[in-house]
Every structure is written in C-alpha cells, then in structure tokens.
Structure 1
Amino acid sequence: MSSTLERHAVAVGDLLVGEGPAVVIAGRVSLRAHHGQADAFEVLRERATLAEPYSAADLPAIAELADAVVVGAAWTRDIPLVRAAAGLGLPVVVERRAAASMEEWLGLADYCAAAGDGRVILCEGGRLDLGLMRAAQAASGRPVLADVSRNIELSAAAVAAGADGLIVDGPCRTAEAPEQGSGWTATRTDAEPLPDLRVAEEAVTVAGALLRPESPATLPECRQAIDRVDAALATLLERRAALAGVVQRLKPVGGFAGRDMARERALVARMALRAPSLGEKHLAPIMNAVIEAGLHLAEERSER
C-alpha cells in the first residue's frame, strides 16, 4: 500500500485535480472500443483529455494528443502495457478493477508512479464503491476521480464522498469554463452543456460548495469560490421558497398573518450554531428577508 499520505494535486490539462474545487472531465476516449483497427491519431485528433490505449501501438498518439493516460480496469493485469503507459510522461489515471481490493488498487498506483513521474490519480468507476474510494484517497493521499458516466445520478454523492472530480462521457476538451467557475472541461456544440454534463456541473458546484473545503490563494480564485457558494445558496433558497409555498397551502391561516415568530426565533438560534461567526444578531435580518420573500412569492402565486 502507498505510504504517500501527504495530500497532493495533479494537473490534467488546464484542470488541477486534488486541490480547490472538484472538477468535471469530459472527453475520455477508449481506443479499446476500436480493437486495434483504428488509427489512434485519427481517433484522438480532437485532443482527448483522457485516453485509454488498446495496445502499445496507441501510445505515441496518446503521448502527443492526450492530457492523461488511463490504465483501464479491463487490463490492469497487463503489466507490460501498464508499464509502457505509465512511462509516457503524462499523468496516469489508474482505474480500479471491479474485483480488486484497495491494497491491489493502491499497489498498482504505486507501480505506475514508480514507472512514470509520480503523477497518479485514482479512478473509481463501474458500480462505484464510494466508501472504498474515500478510504483509498485517505490511505494514499492521491487525488481520486469518480467515473459517473453510467451512474450520473450519483454525481452529488461522489462529490460528497470526497471525489476530486467526475468523469462524464462527452465531447473532447476545451479550456472554456462555466459561469460559476466550477471547473469543467468539454467542447460544447450547442449553447448549453449536454444534460449529463449539467448534472455533473451542478454536483461539483452545489455539493462541492457545501462540503469541499477550499483555500483560494488569489482574488480570482476567491471570487470563483464565492460564486460557487452563491450558486449553492441560490439553489437552497429556491428549494426553501417552494417548501414555504407548500406550508402556506396547508396552514389554516396563511400569508403574513400566519407567521410564527417564536418558531422563527428558534430557527435563527439553531442556525447560529452552524454559523457562529454570524450569530443570531446578523442571521435574524437575513432570515427575516428570506421568509418575507417566500411569503411574497406564495401570495403572488395564489393570485394567479
């Protein structure tokens, strides 16, 4: 098992995996799907972010056109190909074989680190054992990715479990980032990201803002982190407004006349336990504004 317990990050193209916000990576290309019958340079001409070889013949194209090489779960026991892939001088994404233990997974990651330049990222895919993924991250200190292509609904759970990034099937990469600065990579042929990319982006933005600690070092990084928190806050406020509307429909006395001030004071007191730096003094006017906005919205909807 790896003894490298210090947490570190690995750059994959324009993204930093392991520090700062979680990222979304699209553009994984598996040359194994072509069974050695395709020209790797032609397949990768759009510049793949992550590329998985079929054989050693694919490695020159991967070295030239990809940002990272994937040691895929299906061939982790092909040691000559693993060694050759790890020696390309690219970051190596080591996918766990379905039946592999954590010790086997981390042992292979250590082997790839020794055969290459040390830049190794763990990847959990398939049925996604998020508990094992988290344990491997803690034991090794290496960054981890969760491939949610087959389980896009687990995107938020993967981020909550500590994934440093999500892999989503999609187009190849560009440096373009979303408005909220959540950190993702994908070429968009339409005005909006593909649905699965949007789900993953929301997961790294909202779940990441709530659960992933950040230490921005520059003003732009700090503003991007604030944007992510604001996005999560807006999502929660929208949900709260919807629930407040349900309460107004269920109350015998609705609207502003139905406000329970004692309950609101207790709410603020409980919130102050989670936000002690703000305290009740600063939280009270914030929550009053939130409650009033929800009541106004409920009234507007009832008049339609």
Structure 2
Amino acid sequence: MSSTLERHAVAVGELLVGEGPAVVIGGRVSLRAHRGQVDAREVLRERAALVEPFSAAELPAIAELADAVVVGAAWTRDIPLVRAASGLGLPVVVERRSSASMEEWLMLADYCAAEGDGRVILCERGRLDLGLMRAARAASGRPVLADVSQDVGLSAAAVAAGADGLIVDGGPERDLTGESGRTGGAGRSGVIGTYKGAGVADPVRGAARGFVRAEDLADGLVARLQVGPTADQAPVPGQAEARRVAEEAVTIVGALIRHETPATLPECREAIDRVDAALATLLERRVELAGTVQRLKPVGGFAGRDADREHALVVAMARRAPTLGEALLAPIMNAIIEAGLHLSEQRGRE
C-alpha cells in the first residue's frame, strides 16, 4: 500500500483514487445552498463521501461526517476558508473554477497540500474540459475526478481521458452563489481533447493520451454507456440509473485504458471481471457487425468464409497481443467467427 500512496493515490473512505481501477463516488453534498442557516449535522445526518462547506463554522461537522472536504469552484478565492478546509485532516478535493487556467488550478492544489497533509485530489466540474483535466493529472501527478452528475453520458469519455473516478450525485445541483454544475448540453460531443490538439486517427490510443474527442471513441462502447438522448434533449437520469451508467464506464472503458497491477487474489479476480465485461461488450458488437456482413455478401454463411482474410485478421491481432501470438489467437478467432455465423444462420431461420 505504501508504494501506491507514494504515487499520489488518495483514499476516500474505502475507495482508493489514483491507482488501479477507476471508481464511482456518490454523495457530493454542498452546504452552500443553506447559507449557514441550517445545522450541518442536520443536513448530513450520516456519513457522506464529499462535502462542500459554506463557512468555517461547518468544518467540525464535516471533519466528523465526511470522507473528504470539497474546495468548491464557486469560492476557490476565499483563501481563509480554503486554508481552514485544507487543515481539517481530510482528503481535499479541489474543483477548478470555470475561468481558471491549469496553472491556477494546480497552484491552488499545491497550496491545499501545503496547508494540509498532502492528500489532494483534482476535480473537473461543470462544463468539462477533459483534455485539460488529463493534462493536469499528468503535470501534477495527482489523481483527478470528473463530476458527470449533469451529463452522465460523458462518463465513458471521462474515463477514456484518464479520470481516476467519476462523481455522480443523481441530479442538478445549483447553489445560491450562482455557480452551476450544468454542462451546457455538451452531450456526447463534450470536450475531451481541446488541450493541445484533438482528433487522432486511433481513437483508443488517442483516448489514452487524452487527445481525442468523445465522438471519436469506439462507437459501440460509448453507445452502450449512453442513457438515451443527450443532456440538452432529456432530463438528467435518476441516481440509480446514473450510477449504473458511470459504473459501466469505469468497468468497460477502464478495462481498455487503465493498467492494473493487483496485489491479491480478490483484486486479481475483480480485474479479470472488468476485462471480461469489456470482452463481452466487444464480442456483442462483433456479432452485430458479422450479421451485417452476412447480409451484404453475395455468398453468406459458412460457405462465404474467406481464409485469407481470417488469417490476415489473426496476424493483425497478434501484433496487438504478442503474448498470445498467432498460434493461440487462431483457434480463439475461429471460435468467435463460427459463433457469429451460427447466430446469423439461426436468425435467418427465424
């Protein structure tokens, strides 16, 4: 555990943010809407993951009932409150003010780390600039969260851009300062690569670097993770549905993007489960495409198999999976192709 924490991973309750799988965090609570007129303990009642204070008077309750304190985007310039929140002895989640540059964001994070015990997490919220978020993570070495509460359809894009966790609070939140978490209807085309370029040829590689727009991601994966229309066309989904979408994103996209080094057998099995979920999603997509091929080919079914193309496919896959190599990949791909053909024939008879 110590070697992991040295790489700036931060524990928030039972979740480790920054290494291993991406996580989903629910329960961001802002006390600002109450403007100090309600006892913080009455609002919280029970333990919450992330809590944003309105004033220093609420910090004792937050220290008792929160897993982390939030330095909110609406008041990052309130230095006395920032200093007091940072000194609580809790992890500090530093949100970026919408007009703040990356340098300003990271300077504030460094200040919070110096005033506290060093456990600082960056958080991009509001109209998400996921390319900038990715760059901030690389420049600072600190873990980053993306608050997708206002457009959960960006969950997959956020994980692909390198988010170590997603915040989902299940509905719109607007405090009385006028700061809003709304994304402005970004939907699937929300920004993921505005920082230092966008639009690379290989969407998966590009996503790993953070230089690809959301619409350039693998359409099958992102479509599977969407919740109906984009945010400017439909209400924000309920908390249970939003959390499901976020969890699908950290599971499926995370399996493709995030490198894991599990240290225990349970952790290893959990990592395998995530990879298998991604495999199942891709296999389902492949079967759909294989069915389309069968409808387009003049000779379909098993009679239409192209041995040269199948061999070329195995050779190309072996370059991406050299540990398996052609010898082991060939029977695997043959089984996948045959399963698709059997399903196509079965559907043809129905």
Same fold (TM over 0.5): yes
Give the structure 2 partner of residue 276 of structure 1.
Answer: 322
Q: CA deviation at 1:204?
A: 0.6
| Aligned: 1:25 with 2:25 | yes
SS of 2:346's equivalent in the other structure is: helix
SS of 1:83's equivalent in the other structure is: helix
1: CA distance, partners of 2:255 / 2:239: 20
- 5 Å-filtered alignment, 1:48-127, equals 48-127=48-127
| Aligned: 1:255 with 2:301 | yes
Give the structure 2 partner of residue 166 of structure 1.
Answer: 166
Which amino acid counterpart does residue 61 of structure 1 have in structure 2?
A
Contact 2:23-2:164 at 8 Å conserved across structures: yes
- 5 Å-filtered alignment, 1:1-304, equals 7-170=7-170, 194-304=240-350
2: CA distance, partners of 1:193 / 1:152: 10
1: CA distance, partners of 2:19 / 2:78: 31
Give the structure 2 partner of residue 189 of structure 1.
Answer: none
Q: CA deviation at 1:193?
A: 7.3
2: CA distance, partners of 1:13 / 1:131: 28
Give the structure 1 partner of residue 180 of structure 2.
Answer: none
1: CA distance, partners of 2:303 / 2:37: 73
Q: Deviations over 1:110-142 (max 9, x none)?
A: 111111111000001111111111111111111
Q: CA deviation at 1:19?
A: 0.8
SS of 1:93's equivalent in the other structure is: strand
Which amino acid counterpart does residue 52 of structure 1 have in structure 2?
E
Contact 1:159-1:165 at 8 Å conserved across structures: yes
Which amino acid counterpart does residue 226 of structure 1 have in structure 2?
I
Q: Deviations over 1:130-187 (max 9, x none)?
A: 111111111111111111112211111111111111111149xxxxxxxxxxxxxxxx
Closer/same/farther in 2, CA of residues 148 and 237 from structure 1, 3 Å limit? same
Contact 1:49-1:66 at 8 Å conserved across structures: yes
Q: CA deviation at 1:78?
A: 0.6
Using structure 1 for the length normalisation, give the TM-score: 0.89
Contact 2:168-2:239 at 8 Å conserved across structures: no
Give the structure 1 partner of residue 202 of structure 2.
Answer: none
Using structure 2 for the length normalisation, give the TM-score: 0.77
Q: Deviations over 1:186-226 (max 9, x none)?
A: xxxxxx97111111111111111101111111111111111
1: CA distance, partners of 2:276 / 2:46: 34
Contact 2:82-2:112 at 8 Å conserved across structures: yes
2: CA distance, partners of 1:38 / 1:48: 17
1: CA distance, partners of 2:305 / 2:43: 62
SS of 2:48's equivalent in the other structure is: coil
Q: Which has the higher contact order (CA 8 A, sep 6+)?
A: 1
SS of 1:67's equivalent in the other structure is: strand
Q: Deviations over 1:249-293 (max 9, x none)?
A: 222221111111111111011000000111110000000000111
Q: CA deviation at 1:85?
A: 0.7
Q: Deviations over 1:46-104 (max 9, x none)?
A: 32100001111211111111100000000000111111111111000000000011111
1: CA distance, partners of 2:349 / 2:87: 68
Q: CA deviation at 1:7?
A: 3.0
Q: CA deviation at 1:35?
A: 2.4
Aligned residues: CA RMSD: 1.5
